[in-house]
Amino acid sequence: MNRAGREAAARRIVEQSPPRVPPEVYADAVRRGGRLLRRRAAARRALWLLLCAAVVAFTVWALTVEPWVEPPSETTPPVTGWEGW
């Protein structure tokens, strides 16, 4: 088939009316699409809940451990007996 024949065949395919979709296929597609949207929404809610739980856990940990405070030095003992000088 030459180029003109291929172009003519492509035009015939494009100009044809699309085949009719059976009603049961449409109903199945709508049902599956709704299920997909519900799953995505549930996954999104679960991820937001996980993120919020992680933020709360980090906040509680930071408030109890206080990592920004410098720990006391343990290399030298406290100096005592110098009050009189």
Q: What string of DSSP letters covers 6-57? A: HHHHHHHHHHSPPPPPPHHHHHHHHHHHHHHHHHHHHHHHHHHHHHHHHHHH
Dihedral (CA of 34, 22, 15, 1) sign: positive
pTM of the model: 0.56
In tens, the pLDDT along 55-77 reads 999 999 999 999 888 887 777 77
Q: Is the pLDDT of residue 32 over 80?
A: yes
In tens, the pLDDT along 9-31 reads 999 988 998 888 888 898 899 99
